[in-house]
Structure 1
Amino acid sequence: MEHLPTDAETGLSRSEVRAQIQRGLVNGEEDIKTQSIGQIIRKNIITPFNILNLILGALVLTTGSIKNMLFLGVALCNTVVGCIQEIRAKQTIDKLSLISSPKAHVLRDGKLWEVPVARVVLDDILQLTSGNQVCSDCVVAAGSCEVNESLITGESDPVVKHPGDHLLSGSFIVSGTCRAQVEHVGKDNYAAKITGSAKYVKKPDSEIMRSVNLIIKVIGIVLVPVGLILFYKAFVTSSASYSQSIISTVGALVGMIPEGLVLLTSVVLASSVVRLSFRNALVQELYSIEMLARVDTICLDKTGTITEGTMQVDELHSLTDNMTEEEIRAAIAAVTFTLQDKNPTAEAMREKFPEDPGWEAISTVPFSSARKWSGVHFSMQGTYVIGAGEFILGKRFNTLCPQANKAAEKGQRVLLLAHSDQPFQGDGMMLPDDIEPLAMLFLSDRIRKSAYETLQYFADQNVDLKVISGDNAVTVANIAQKAGLEHANQCVDATTLETDEDIRNAVRKYSVFGRVTPHQKLQIVKALKADGHTVAMTGDGVNDVLALKESDCSIAMASGSDAARTVSQIVLLDSNFASMPHIVAEGRRSINNLQRSSALYLVKAFFSTILAVCFIFIQSQYPFEPIQFTLVNALTIGLPSLVLSLEPNRERLHGKFMLNIIKKSIPGALTMVINVLLLEAIQSFMHFPQAQLSTAAVVLTTVTLFMILFRVCMP
């Protein structure tokens, strides 16, 4: 395909963009992240239970007993309610997705424009900076950057890209700024499945989904042979009429179908999506709500969660006699204005030192969470570096530790300014050997007003909090302690954790981790999961992406990087960590109530299945008709389960979903089976009519179900 000659300084003109769109060389409309309305309706109509109900309804119709077809009305209501709730949830997600979806920054007619990713055309010049996700395959035209391609290749080590190098769609910028010319659009992209907003879709790992599917599979396998045997026994062996045989058989099978269980699961999860939207939370994966109910550990960063994320420079302390304070201030301004990093720390330094001396830069190393420093090599002034002293000076920083620790105890962030006459070493990303300290900068951040209340909530709910930060461990611990974090004094410097075993031991002992690299964040999440914890991870930067992917429930701030929002299951649209208690509480409410309500449906299914098998061997007609089961189910299971699903419930979910509902279901199901079998035994001596036996069975079953409902409703 022929490419337009595009200038990296001006980009395409408006006429060239229009021409590319007319030729179809555009990313195109973004893929719909949710099912279409048609797909939702088809999914709710064409289900194994609905097909089975239609077959059973058709059989009852052949007998002329219209009243016994009432169960079809219930199935229809289930389908309608399920469609309405899912469509409502879909519309909510679609509206919120428009707010949180990434935009592309393109250079056109010499100006920088923000456009939807779908409107990027072939040969556009993209402006990419730290945190951006690459929306189309492109070639670096100017500048350089470090790229993480883990979302598409699985390789987590950053790759340095220079002019002429290729950037793959779906990768994200770790550090640096570059301009790149788009070389593929739409389905031609390397990661076509991530085209549009470059969304990484994680396969749901839902125990509820697996459990419900297993129940459907087992009942489907058992139902057909049991139905055939019951009909054969009634029609052939007992010589009952065709109508009686069909109605008694259908009565047994209707009870075995837990059709409301599937509806309830869909309605509860869809309702939670809508309720969470009122808390400015966008649920990108439906079954992540289940994980919320199980979370017992939350990993979070200090900045933007405990603190407001707006830094200010409090003090500049010189460490050398070879430079005046004015020269030091000029060096800091030269570095920050040359790099143009957009993080709060860089913004604070530019605000404090606003006069750019205009030094000529030869090479730059942008900030990354792995290096924890950034720097510039100037033509006349040498190399200046700003970052964490431990990473710049190594063991030599020990002599400066007393001053740094004193500031850290106040909750201040400490940065080091260092200098060398030599350029960067190795591949241009390594420090010169003769780097020397010039000054220390002390910065501070304000604690959020809601931090104490939020942290206290999780402490009351027995949710363990792990504060994971790139800052000095003492700084983080002091801020966490002021915010009210329990065990905040149990802190560790992650630079001392050298092996996987060190990290496994640390997560059991410490609550605050400082100087953590992105890879260590991933290792911490893995270690917590290996210890049997259900881990939620909150993050907003590219340094959080690997840990977000690995966590059981990933939550991103909308104000953060494209990459973080892309891989997360839930996005906080107001970027307010104070929403977390409400979000966790909603997950617990939904899944705990779903578990209780599911037990009611399984009581009926187990009871009907066991009773049907028993009546294969009992020389008597099955005591229930379809209309009786339909009315009893609506009164004792259907309506109560809907009310139960809306009740407040903040208990953390324990145990396996399937085992929990089976343990609650079996005693009640066996009680009802024994009741009916005792009635059959009494009838064999008393010889009262089948109609009276059927009425007694319905009354006794209804009373027992109400007793079971009462037991399920108890806290």
Structure 2
Amino acid sequence: MDQNVDYDIGLTTPEVGQRVKDGQVNITNDNQFKSNWQIIAENTFTYFNLIFAILAALLVLVNSYRDLSFLPVIVANTIIGIVQEIRAKHVLSKLTVMNETNVSVVRDGQVQDIAIQDLVKDDVVILKAGDQVPADARVLSGAARVNEALLTGEADEIQKSAGSQLMSGSFLVAGEVYAQLEKVGDDSYIAKLTLEAKAMKSVEQSEMVRSINRIIKWVGIIIIPLGLALFGQSYFWNGNGLTESVTSMEAAIIGMIPEGLYLLTTIALAMAATRLARKEVMLHNMKSVETLARVNVLCVDKTGTITEPEMSAQKAVASHGISKEQLYQDLADFCGNMPAENETMKAISKKFKTSLYKKAVNTVPFTSVTKFSAVNFNDYALIIGAPEMVLRTQFKDYTSEFKAFTEQGYRVVVLAKYPDNIQTESPLTEPVEVIGYVLINNPIRKEAPDTFKYFANQGVEIKVISGDNPVTVSKVASEAKIKNADKYLDLSTYNGDFREIVDKYTVFGRVKPEQKKELVLALKAHGKTVAMTGDGVNDILAMKEADCSIAMASGNAAAVQASQVVLLDSNFAKMPEVVNEGRRVVNNIERSASLFLVKNIFSFLMAIISLLLTINYPIRPSQITLISAFTIGIPSFLLALESNYNLIRGNFIANVLSKSIPGGLTDVLAVWIVIGANMVLNLDKQDLATTATMVLVAVGLMVLHHISAPLNNFRLGVMVISFLCILASIALFHNFFNLTMISGRSLFLLIVLFFAELSIFRWMSAIADGVAEAGAILVQHGRDTTFGQVKAAYRKGKKASKW
């Protein structure tokens, strides 16, 4: 065991300097932010960039330089991705530094506040209730109750005194200690645990990112064997030259790669994070943006969320037969001896503490398990706590004295005299003499009613989960305009299955920390996507189980560190903005992904059919670039900027496919009609390729119109820009894109095909919209879905189709 440091003096400045020199600093090498070089490397040396490099080398080899037109797009994509990610990192890293937690430390005999990463081995830190232990330590002086739930999963509070070990990552529930740090930085328990947790969480992705990764993975697997087969067929079977075989193969491969989709997703998520950062909302991970947008149940605590975090003791009311003088003297005796280590005690002390009080033998700190604190005198004790916990079997005898106050929205704590001293670990066994009641409240946040009205309009259920009296909480929830606030339940008297009550009640009172967690799990068992807000140590267990956790920065450090989203100004009114940002990301990426997949579906099916019929792929790489740039790339990035706050419905991949499959199939049918017509019209290869390109451009614009419906000025502007860019490219850069002036026969064929495509696309889109609506019903109701429901949903989807 290391030698104890004098906790009144702590380390001296030379001792701190030596430890810094020796590297014994509380800095972990694992950083949530990548270095700039890591970002550059990860965006440059990708699997698909390697494929594009090989394709470029092959085109150079056969002197087909014009077909290298895809390279500027790839380079631009890579550079944009690097710049945007570095910018997002800088914004978030600055925000993280601003939000870092300081720790009280004793150095050179002086108490000072320093950042966690500036602590060194053997530093003496002062930890109070709500503080998180910054590194593995040993208690030198004082006593506290510690919750190690973040580390062990156990909610029990453990008593710590001189000589006890404190694990980093645990947090103090009550008391105050001086502790000497023994293991810092990478050697601490929490650092090792964090590395393991991050390794597990690396596979934990949102539905959208998971779906996109799955698409890209399968494309990556397919393109190499398919490309080799196309080249082999053209060169060996059809007897074409090396140049034509390489270019036709590359056109198919380039068409199958969704080169901009992953970049678009990364940029959209990074932009969402930076936009929220400017609004003083910090994300601990990107997943939370999408998850929060899909939330349909929001669990909130009363204090700090519905109400202001600061408690205020309004008045004290004497019990029957007790004089006001005795009440105020006993309150002074209690407040004079009990440290103001939690919000309740701070409020009571501020109102009732005086310099005239009797000296106590010792104190028993408040815990979230016992829900009372006590001050021991020679032959009795004074207790302040929740009426249910202090009065126990006497509760019914005194309810009439304070019931009216709880109905008015006050939080009521009882002051009682106990006929014996109370030990920290011992339950109350004797009857108490009630002295009086202290009435406490938290003002309703002025923005709370509008915020809860927003969520009600969005179909998001609100569940209020609090440790306070359920009648009081129900009253406060009603004032905040929470729907069904009158449906409340006292969980201190409930022992049944939580899954049976989560749908019946809105307000849950007298909830213990482990019960909050069980409520969240019960909601998830009902298929709900749950978000949990909190600002106290008693919220952490539930926050960890929720799909998305939101912390108020005004709360304790442990809750902030355990959350995925942090409201830095502790303003719950920011929640609609966070939800809307998530919806913007998901809706816009879903829409843009449909554009990308049209090209991928067409290229894949066209490649397969070309192999089966042993014909060359009819389009050149430069023409694929033209289609990609102006019917997919530019529109998708512009549309991703739009404010799109619609409700998210259905499965991401199903929604994307329902919009992209009709376009992909229409492309294939139209091009094959061109190829079939060519057998009669006998067009040359350039004429055929140009006509096929114009057909694909037309379908691309149809798809763009379909996913943009209903049109507004912004979306119409995007379509006009895309159309004008296509016209300019054809007029000014036709040689670059291998386009020729088509013959009269080809022009006639093109016009006829345009109207045929319109009908085919409209018909297929209506069917796809119907299938998507039926699929959404199946997902929503699962095995309980009837055939009639599916049929009705299909008809509804077809009828509501924008085509």
Quickly name the TM-score band, shorter chain normalised. over 0.9
Given the superposition, is the C-alpha separation of residues 151 and 314 from structure 1 closer, same or farther in structure 2, using an over 3 Å criterion? Answer: closer
CA positional deviation for 1:424: 1.9
Find the aligned partners of 1:662 and 1:120 in 2 and give their Cα distance: 53
CA positional deviation for 1:324: 4.6
Match of 1:26, as an amino acid?
A: V
Does 2:537 correspond to 1:542? yes
2:565 aligned partner: 570
Query: Which SS does the other structure have where 1:376 is aligned?
Result: strand
Find the aligned partners of 1:141 and 1:693 in 2 and give their Cα distance: 85
Find the aligned partners of 2:163 and 2:78 in 1 and give their Cα distance: 56
Contact 1:341 1:367 in 2 (8 A): no
1:164 aligned partner: 163
Match of 2:41, as an amino acid?
A: R
Find the aligned partners of 1:536 and 1:623 in 2 and give their Cα distance: 51
Given the superposition, is the C-alpha separation of residues 349 and 2 from structure 1 closer, same or farther in structure 2, using an over 3 Å criterion? Answer: closer
Find the aligned partners of 1:489 and 1:170 in 2 and give their Cα distance: 38
Find the aligned partners of 1:200 and 1:624 in 2 and give their Cα distance: 44
Given the superposition, is the C-alpha separation of residues 31 and 105 from structure 1 closer, same or farther in structure 2, using an over 3 Å criterion? Answer: farther
2:690 aligned partner: 695
1:96 aligned partner: 95
Find the aligned partners of 1:618 and 1:195 in 2 and give their Cα distance: 56
CA positional deviation for 1:132: 1.1
Match of 2:584, as an amino acid?
A: R
Does 2:451 correspond to 1:454? yes
Find the aligned partners of 2:476 and 2:350 in 1 and give their Cα distance: 23
Does 2:483 correspond to 1:486? yes
CA positional deviation for 1:353: 1.1
Query: Which SS does the other structure have where 2:176 is aligned?
Result: strand
Given the superposition, is the C-alpha separation of residues 646 and 304 from structure 1 closer, same or farther in structure 2, using an over 3 Å criterion? Answer: same
Does 2:4 correspond to 1:9? no
- Which stretches in structure 1 are left out of the alignment for 5+ residues? none
Match of 1:638, as an amino acid?
A: G
Given the superposition, is the C-alpha separation of residues 450 and 311 from structure 1 closer, same or farther in structure 2, using an over 3 Å criterion? Answer: same
CA positional deviation for 1:2: 4.6
Match of 2:663, as an amino acid?
A: G
C-alpha RMSD of matched pairs (Å): 2.1
TM-score, structure 1 normalization? 0.95
For 1:282-361, list aligned pairs within 5 A: 282-319=282-319, 321=321, 324-357=323-356, 359-361=358-360
2:182 aligned partner: 183
1:230 aligned partner: 230
2:777 aligned partner: none
CA positional deviation for 1:603: 1.4
CA positional deviation for 1:595: 1.0
Query: Which SS does the other structure have where 1:175 is aligned?
Result: strand
Find the aligned partners of 1:333 and 1:215 in 2 and give their Cα distance: 68
Name the stretch that deviates more: 558-567 or 326-335: 326-335
Find the aligned partners of 1:633 and 1:598 in 2 and give their Cα distance: 13
CA positional deviation for 1:67: 1.5
CA positional deviation for 1:233: 0.9
Query: Which SS does the other structure have where 1:151 is aligned?
Result: helix
Contact 1:27 1:185 in 2 (8 A): yes
Find the aligned partners of 1:342 and 1:67 in 2 and give their Cα distance: 74
Does 2:460 correspond to 1:463? yes
Does 2:620 correspond to 1:625? yes
For 1:417-456, list aligned pairs within 5 A: 417-425=415-423, 428-456=425-453
Find the aligned partners of 1:673 and 1:482 in 2 and give their Cα distance: 60
Given the superposition, is the C-alpha separation of residues 586 and 350 from structure 1 closer, same or farther in structure 2, using an over 3 Å criterion? Answer: same
Contact 1:149 1:158 in 2 (8 A): yes
Find the aligned partners of 1:37 and 1:361 in 2 and give their Cα distance: 59
Query: Which SS does the other structure have where 1:438 is aligned?
Result: strand
- Which stretches in structure 2 are left out of the alignment for 5+ residues? 711-803
Query: Which SS does the other structure have where 1:183 is aligned?
Result: strand
Deviation per residue, 1:644-700 (Å, 9 max, x gap) = 212222223222222221222212111111111111111122221111111111011
Percentage of matched positions with identical amino acids: 41
1:515 aligned partner: 510
Query: Which SS does the other structure have where 1:86 is aligned?
Result: helix
Match of 2:313, as an amino acid?
A: V
CA positional deviation for 1:10: 3.5
Given the superposition, is the C-alpha separation of residues 43 and 408 from structure 1 closer, same or farther in structure 2, using an over 3 Å criterion? Answer: same
2:60 aligned partner: 61
Given the superposition, is the C-alpha separation of residues 542 and 55 from structure 1 closer, same or farther in structure 2, using an over 3 Å criterion? Answer: same
Given the superposition, is the C-alpha separation of residues 467 and 387 from structure 1 closer, same or farther in structure 2, using an over 3 Å criterion? Answer: same
1:276 aligned partner: 276
Query: Which SS does the other structure have where 1:262 is aligned?
Result: helix
CA positional deviation for 1:338: 3.4
Find the aligned partners of 2:199 and 2:544 in 1 and give their Cα distance: 9
1:472 aligned partner: 469
1:24 aligned partner: 23
Given the superposition, is the C-alpha separation of residues 582 and 429 from structure 1 closer, same or farther in structure 2, using an over 3 Å criterion? Answer: farther
1:373 aligned partner: 372
CA positional deviation for 1:604: 1.1
Deviation per residue, 1:171-203 (Å, 9 max, x gap) = 11122222211122222222324689x999955
Match of 2:251, as an amino acid?
A: G
For 1:405-424, list aligned pairs within 5 A: 405-424=403-422
Given the superposition, is the C-alpha separation of residues 386 and 23 from structure 1 closer, same or farther in structure 2, using an over 3 Å criterion? Answer: same
Which of 485, 491, 494 aligns to 1:497? It is 494
2:214 aligned partner: 214
Query: Which SS does the other structure have where 2:374 is aligned?
Result: strand
1:397 aligned partner: 395
Match of 1:590, as an amino acid?
A: V
1:52 aligned partner: 51
Contact 2:464 2:507 in 1 (8 A): yes
CA positional deviation for 1:152: 2.2
Find the aligned partners of 1:108 and 1:458 in 2 and give their Cα distance: 49
Query: Which SS does the other structure have where 2:440 is aligned?
Result: strand
Match of 1:461, as an amino acid?
A: Q
CA positional deviation for 1:372: 1.9
Contact 2:28 2:186 in 1 (8 A): no
Match of 1:471, as an amino acid?
A: D
Match of 1:422, as an amino acid?
A: D
Which of 633, 649, 661 aligns to 2:656? It is 661
Query: Which SS does the other structure have where 2:260 is aligned?
Result: helix
Deviation per residue, 1:405-450 (Å, 9 max, x gap) = 211121111000122131224x635335343322111122211111
Find the aligned partners of 1:337 and 1:79 in 2 and give their Cα distance: 65
CA positional deviation for 1:356: 4.3
Given the superposition, is the C-alpha separation of residues 355 and 640 from structure 1 closer, same or farther in structure 2, using an over 3 Å criterion? Answer: same
Which of 609, 631, 634 aligns to 1:639? It is 634
Contact 1:147 1:174 in 2 (8 A): yes
